Structure 1
Amino acid sequence: MKQKVIAFFPEAAYGPALNSVGIAQACEALGHKAVFLTDPGMSGVYSGYGFEEHMVNMSAPMPPEEMAKYWVDFINGHIPNFRKSPLEQIPNYVKECWAAIVETAKWAEKDLPSVLAKVQPDLICVDNVILFPAIKQYGKPWVRIISCSENEIEDPDIPPHLSGMSVHDKAGHAEFRRRFDEEVGPIHADFNEFLVAHGEQPYPLGTFFEASPFMNLLLYPDPVKFERRHALPPEQFHYLQGCVRADKPYDIPQFKANNDKPLLYVSFGSLGSGDVDLLKRLISAIGQLPYRALFNVGEHLEKYTELPDNVLVSNWYPQPSVIEKVDAVIHHGGNNSFTECLFFGKPAIVMSYVWDGHDNAMRAEESGHGFKLDRYEWNEADLAAKLEACLTDTAMQARLKETSAYMQSRKGPQDAAKILDGLLNHD
């Protein structure tokens, strides 16, 4: 039988990229060939895991080093906006982000038809927040992967995507939706013109992507998912219970101090590492506490010249392998960090700054799997109290243990691979 080809097309960010890697690894274990369509700025990420890469320009062509810095520079330029609430971020960060995302869709459409003709995939998996008409029109089944918070699929009873609001704040939900539509409306109108020009029907205001008629895979696990007014039909939507990839093993290094104390891992992701002042403040605070801590500081390693004896920094960690071995995590609410903590049963303090991090921070707290903490409005006593609670709250520990056992029994990547295999073999 001819080997089937599955093309994965994640957005140009490490969260979606590495989720797709986990699914692709499981697909290859079933005998299929997984390839990646990728923005040049992510070149090397997938080949590093042994996958074939095919470039799709998602902005004006530029040297690879400039491409790799595009989103880093975009995020770093918005650091002052990280101090604002999700509602206050709509007219600046959120609006500019959607404008940039629409432009990526327009650029991708120039390359996608020829890349698809070359790759000839039997199935396409898209992990993005926006529609690429060429994929929908290619003539093969396509699957939408939702690696951000599950409220990317709207429902009247749950908080709007990106809002970070409590499920109980109904007035807040309405205000967020109103402000979003008002600010992002012109960008949405421009996107609709693009859709019509490429043979698609315009979307309702606020919608930039549709559910796939074939299958939609959500990474959110059952223990934290929302109570919806309208249940998602299981024949079209499937919860993967996380999608933790296999990564390189990691041995815990020796510290100069506190080697018998609980171990923390602190990471704000590849983009959030630009907030150097915040990371230095956390290092100083944790340096005075009875813990050890591993800090992911991204490409800014040279800025951390003086460290307390109980802190080590690196520009990269094999995160799943690290989280499995630590006692608690401080992270930004990215979906990988969020689901990996749940998968390994680790309590987390979520200090969100943008996008779905706000939603995941609220879900961690409201579901009893961790705490949300304002990224800037905290003091050393706040941090110390929440870290102690992470390690001593017996109800939270029991809940995390149960969630971890459930997620690990479900094997998300293998679950996804079986679903994709079924689509490939369905005549």
Structure 2
Amino acid sequence: MANKSLKVLFVPLLNAGHVNPCIAIAEQLIDSGHRAVFAVDSVWSGKLTAYGIDEIVLAKTDRPLHSPNDTPDATREMMASVMFSDASALQKAIIRAKHSDLWTKYAIKMDKQLERLLPDIRPDVIIVDQLIALPAVELSGIPCVWVWSGGILEMVNDERAPPRQSGLSATGDQKLWQEFRQIVKNNEKDEWRAFNHYVVGRGCEPLPEYYFHNPSHYLNIYGYPLELDYQDIRPLGRNFVEFDHFMRTERHLTFAVPPELAAKPGKLVYFSLGSIASMDVSNMRRLVAILAKSPHRFIVSKGPLHMDYTLADNMWGEASVPQIQVLPLVDLVLTHGGINTVTESLYFGRPMIAMPVFGEQYDNAQRLQDKGFGLRLDAYRCSEKELLAAIETLLSDRRLTERLAEDAFTASHNVAKQFIISDNDMLKQNTIYELMSKFTNLIIVQLDDNDKFTMVPDNAFGNQPKLKQLTIRSAEKSIGSHAFSGLTGLRTLNVNYDQLSHISANAFAIDKHSNESLTISLNRNLLNENRLSFLLD
């Protein structure tokens, strides 16, 4: 099974906030020899082939709500629902709860399509990025992974953490948490009962109370930096896996700051309210007018209605800009607080001013401020003085800049569990071991076919106390003294050196009492060496 090429079907909500993380996961699968197939609508059709992704086009009636590709209808719908307003997070959560039938109707349409399509597609694995259960997936018996791009507080309604979409602080008044939760429950309970009835009628188990999905039935994965996560107050179960981000590579895209903007003075700032919130042209005009008074320069992702407003002289923008290529070039990010922009900005070590408009954006914005990675402002009520002062505050905060730069390099090191290097021409002698020393929680290390390496240095694995499995298949000609010592919990050691000519004394001085279950597999070249006599003691 390990070597089998899998056919993986992706079923995301069809807006950029959900499709983009799925693209990132698909890229990794494709690089590993698997096939990625996306269920998309006509709007997305043809846009994924650049990533090597296959597409199955759904019926037009299955297009999701609030698609920025249907800008006139989407804008009217959002305006009418007060999502584009200075209403509070609670007021917007109530509106969403009262209209949850719109989401369940969409889920039912998607469910019926999948019921027809799955027998023909026959995927080995299904990856969904939805907010509501799709019974056809569960009833298919096909292994399923649920990606959470809609906010990590959506995954589990745990009273040890703030309620989803509330924007309430994890260190705040928990009475406010309880009040927010109860109000939302009261407004969505009828629709929950109706959807639960549908799910049971399809032959599935009843949903947990006030959940529109059953998290225990899936492997749940989510992209959120450990520095922002709520695991310190709300640990998750074994079927939840955290990643720092789901960031696509965008290898086919390039970007350079336009000459007319590059020639201007000031720091460089990226401004994006996402594909949906940017459809509020009135508010975009207001914010652009404020930023026009800043001494700094701005790259602006203008959104689907980009033709309806103009930018100031200290700005450049287009309907959409290649965010992954832009972020490394800027000094600061002004964002709506969408989960993708937050995780990608932190990946590149950029401070943020988060101006949430709806949904999980409130939670992300508050978390950034609570953890000291940025500031939260009201997208509709922030004054000229507040916004311009916030920009100067973050741009002049050298300690934050240094902290973010360090975290951008070390964040993944602190949580990584596997370290696999295979046929990498970029790594030179000892670089691999120096790099590996940065990772302190490794459980599996695998070094394959690195023919530039000539020796395993002394105490090469001395910084890996948690290592359980070590596999080395390389071209090293010598092994240094105590190269494998310090591995107190090792269970499996596989070593294969075809060109080995020298083993230093005590190279395999492994503490036998700390490794009572150790299984060692060595090639014949090593078995002829008397340095291994310790194995017979």
Alignment partner, residue 104 of structure 2:
102
Alignment partner, residue 87 of structure 2:
84
SS at match of 2:205: coil
1:352, 1:127 → 2: CA distance?
A: 22
Alignment partner, residue 163 of structure 2:
160
2:289, 2:34 → 1: CA distance?
A: 49
Q: What whole-Å deviation, never above 9, does each CA across 1:226-257 have from its counterpart, x for those lacking one?
A: 14555213x41111111111121211112368
Residue 148 of structure 1: how far off its partner (Å): 2.7
Residue 42 of structure 1: how far off its partner (Å): 3.3
Conserved? CA contact 1:266–1:296, under 8 Å: yes
Q: What whole-Å deviation, never above 9, does each CA across 1:50-73 have from its counterpart, x for those lacking one?
A: 3111133484689xx998446455
SS at match of 1:381: helix
Structure 2 counterpart of 1:293, one-letter code: F
Change (3 A) 1:42 1:187: farther
Alignment partner, residue 174 of structure 2:
170
Alignment partner, residue 183 of structure 1:
187
Residue 197 of structure 1: how far off its partner (Å): 1.2
Alignment partner, residue 255 of structure 2:
250
1:226, 1:58 → 2: CA distance?
A: 38
SS at match of 1:312: strand
Structure 2 counterpart of 1:398, one-letter code: E
Alignment partner, residue 6 of structure 1:
8
Alignment partner, residue 381 of structure 2:
377
Alignment partner, residue 262 of structure 1:
267
Q: Can you give the 5+ residue segments of structure 2 that lack an aligned partner in the other structure?
A: 420-537
Structure 1 counterpart of 2:87, one-letter code: K
Matched, 1:224 2:223: no
Alignment partner, residue 75 of structure 1:
78
SS at match of 1:34: strand
Alignment partner, residue 19 of structure 1:
21
Matched, 1:298 2:303: yes
Residue 259 of structure 1: how far off its partner (Å): 2.2
| Structure 2 counterpart of 1:329, from 330, 333, 351 | 333
SS at match of 1:317: coil
Q: What whole-Å deviation, never above 9, does each CA across 1:182-228 have from its counterpart, x for those lacking one?
A: 11111111111111111122223321112254521111110101145
2:45, 2:209 → 1: CA distance?
A: 34
Q: What whole-Å deviation, never above 9, does each CA across 1:137-169 have from its counterpart, x for those lacking one?
A: 112210111123221222221111111111122
Conserved? CA contact 2:69–2:304, under 8 Å: no
Conserved? CA contact 2:15–2:68, under 8 Å: no
Structure 1 counterpart of 2:20, one-letter code: L
2:41, 2:234 → 1: CA distance?
A: 35
Change (3 A) 1:367 1:58: farther
1:320, 1:108 → 2: CA distance?
A: 30
SS at match of 2:304: helix
Conserved? CA contact 1:242–1:407, under 8 Å: no
| Structure 2 counterpart of 1:405, from 409, 419, 424 | 409
Q: In proportion to residue count, which structure has more helix?
A: 1
Change (3 A) 1:100 1:245: same
1:268-283 correspondence to structure 2 within 5 Å = 268-283=273-288
Change (3 A) 1:404 1:174: same
Structure number with greater Rg is 2
Alignment partner, residue 366 of structure 1:
370
Conserved? CA contact 1:81–1:92, under 8 Å: no
Alignment partner, residue 390 of structure 1:
394
Change (3 A) 1:319 1:66: closer
Change (3 A) 1:71 1:408: farther
2:175, 2:163 → 1: CA distance?
A: 12
Deviates most, 78-87 or 361-370: 78-87
Structure 1 counterpart of 2:135, one-letter code: P
Conserved? CA contact 2:62–2:110, under 8 Å: no
Alignment partner, residue 429 of structure 2:
none
Identity of aligned residues (%): 29
Alignment partner, residue 461 of structure 2:
none
Residue 30 of structure 1: how far off its partner (Å): 0.4
Q: What whole-Å deviation, never above 9, does each CA across 1:359-394 have from its counterpart, x for those lacking one?
A: 111111011111110112121111111101111123
1:194, 1:169 → 2: CA distance?
A: 37
TM-score by length of 2: 0.71
Conserved? CA contact 1:59–1:104, under 8 Å: no
Alignment partner, residue 125 of structure 1:
127
TM-score by length of 1: 0.89
Q: What whole-Å deviation, never above 9, does each CA across 1:312-338 have from its counterpart, x for those lacking one?
A: 121011111111211111111111111
| Structure 2 counterpart of 1:308, from 312, 325, 330 | 312
Q: Can you give the 5+ residue segments of structure 1 that lack an aligned partner in the other structure?
A: 416-427
2:269, 2:68 → 1: CA distance?
A: 33
Structure 2 counterpart of 1:127, one-letter code: D
